Structure formats: structure tokens, C-alpha cells
Homo-oligomer: A and B are copies of this chain.
Amino acid sequence: MDGNKPSRADVARAAGVAESTVSRALNDSSLISPAIKDKVRRTAEALGYRPSRQAANFARGRTGTLGLVVPRYTSFPPFSRAYFPTLLDGVVLAAEERGFLVTIVLDKAETTGDRLAEMVAGRSVDGFLFAVSPAKYDRYNCLKRSGVPFALINNYHKGFASVDARPEPGMRDAFGHAWGLRHRRVGYITGDLAYKNGVDRLETFRRLSAEFGMYPSEVEGNFSRTSGYEGAIRLLAGPRKSRPTVIMTASDRAAIGVIGACDDLGMRVPEDVSIIGYDDLHPARDISPQLSTVHNPIEESGKEAATLLIELIGKERRKAAAKWLDTSFVARESTSYAGV
């Protein structure tokens, strides 16, 4: 065995064909006859030849890399801790299935649209996925102007490619579930209304509570556990006759805060108060009682977003499409018949 890495030329020589034939055979081109293909593959395998992904991408004029833009966690801890790793799993799995790698781009103050466009011009990545990003539309517009492919995750906006999940299906089932358990007064602790998600979920709550004919009461929150705790204290302050028997939140974390508040108020979950969260991230199953919640398909969102972005990069798709996934409802232990 010789110490050097075998080159494409070595394989070509050993197989008695031209280098271009080796290239096409290994890429399964329809131009090459099955017999030669097989022979080349065996030879390559025998020699231990590893084509350079780097050179291949270079020759193809792409980088084969997606940039996933995320806030610096240490400066933006409020986003749900399990959200990012879950999303990442989906993005990376879908990307590698199509031969792409995923690199992390930390979203700092100096990360402007121009800076991101430079990363594409400078061949660091082929395009961007935005996760957990506040609504910086000037930045997105800048990218669009530069012709940089990108997609938003969980953050629909007209004119931009995006993947998002409708709150409607899951929340409708949650309402149906609560209605079936004889709940008639429903409390809601909103998410951060600076985020589209927060607004969407609130509007869906309003529509559905009207449709179901349930008496709603609302408190503004921001997805955090603390906001859930404080919101619950306020929602449950009234007289027993008028206070909600089921509380819905815009995040699992807030729902966990609600459980804490009930605990402190001496109310049992779910006997005295039912609770329904939103997201269905891992914590939902870890806590006691296990949380009934609206399942947000985060890993799928990541997969779909990566797929969409790769289509955009490959020009397989022209227009910036918006893809919608469905939420669903998961009944666990934090909901039961309405007391009284």
C-alpha cells in the first residue's frame, strides 16, 4: 500500500478508462454503460479513492452548505431551550440527505443583510435559514434584493420563503378536548406579541373561543415561565364562579409557570385547573403532571425548510413559496373534567 491518497487519475488508469468516465461513473451518470460503471466503482473501492466534496462543489459553482442563522444563546436565553436542538436535528438530517452540510451563523448585532450577502458572494454558504429570529424585515429585503436564497422558519411573511405551522388544527382539537371535558371558561396567557407567532396564536384563541362559545379571559405574557406564573395568578384571582377552569398558554414554558402558580395557590392540576401548553418540546413530557399540549412540528419544520432552501438554491423553484404544516393536540395528564 502506498502512503499517498489515490487520485482520480489512479482509478482511471487502473480501470483503463478516462478520468471523465470515472467522474461520471461515480456520479451515476446515465451516459455510462452499466458494465463500465460497475468496473469503475469496484476499482475506486479497491484503491480506497475518496472524491473531494470540496473540489466537486467548487467545480459545480456551489458550496454545498446551508447557513443556519441563530441568535447567540448566551445573549438571548429566553427562547425555549429544547427548541433549537430539535430544529437542528431536522435541518441537518434533511440537508445531509441531499448532500448539504449545515453551518451555524451566530446572529450578532453586526450581522446585517449585507454581511450575510457577503458570505454568499464569498462562497461560505449557498443560502440561509433563519431560526428564532425577530422580525428584521429590512434585512430580509436586503437579502432578497441581492438574490440570496433564504427561508424563514416559524416566521411567515408575505413574499419570503418560509415554513410555519398553523396553530389552528391543534388548537381546535384542544378546544374540542376542553369542551368535551365540560370546560366553559378558558383563560389564555399570550406569547410575546412582538413575534408573529405570539399574535397568530392569540388570534386563533379568540376565533376558537368565540366559535366554541367559551367565555375567554386573556393576560399578556411573553412565552417565559415567569409570565405564565404571573398570568395564572391574575387569571385565577377572581371568584370561583367566574374564573377559568382551563388555562391555555402560548408555550410549554409558560404552562410550566402556570403549574407552579397553581401549586402556590393550593390548587391541584388537573383536578382544580386544567392546563394546555403549546409546542410539545421535551420538557412537556418530563414534568409532573405531564402536559397536555399543542404539538408544534418543529423537527419537520426544520426538514421542510432545509428542503425548500435547497430547491431555491438549485433553482428548482423560482417563487418564494410559503409552506404550512399542521399542529395537532396531545392529551396527557394536565387536563381533566372541569370542577364545578
User: Considering the complex, which residues of chain A in the window 272-330 have a beta carbon less than 8 Å from any beta carbon of chain B?
Assistant: 282-283, 286, 299
Chain B, residue nearest A82 (CB): B81
Please indicate the chain B residues that have their CB under 8 angstroms from the CB of A96 in the complex: 106
Residue A222 at the chain B interface, CB threshold 8 Å? no
**Alpha-carbon separation in the docked complex, A286 to B229 (Å):** 12
Given A58-B58, A85-B84, A103–B106 Cβ distance below 8 Å?
no
Complex interface bits, A45-63 against B, C-beta within 8 A gives 1, otherwise 0: 0000011111101100001
Instruction: Given A57-B54, A101-B124, A106-B92, answer yes or no on A86-B63 (Cβ-Cβ < 8 Å).
Output: no
Which residues in window 188-222 of A have CB below 8 A to B? Answer: none
How many copies of the chain does the oligomer comprise?
2
Expressed in whole angstroms, the minimum distance between the Cβ of A223 and any Cβ of chain B is: 13
The answer to whether the Cβ of A77 comes within 8 Å of any Cβ in the partner chain is yes
CB-nearest residue of chain B relative to A263? B263
User: Is the beta-carbon distance between A118 and B73 smaller than 8 angstroms?
Assistant: no
User: A177: which B residues are within 8 A, CB to CB?
Assistant: none
A74 contacts B by Cβ under 8 Å = yes
Chain A residues 222 to 273 lying within 8 A of chain B, measured CB to CB, are 225-226, 263
How far does the alpha carbon of A225 sit from the alpha carbon of B282 in the complex, in Å? 13
Given contacts A74-B299, A85-B84, A89-B72, contact A52 B5 (CB under 8 A): no
Q: Answer yes or no: A184 CB below 8 A from chain B CBs.
A: no
Closest 7 CB pairs of A and B: A73-B85, A81-B81, A54-B123, A50-B121, A52-B123, A101-B103, A77-B282
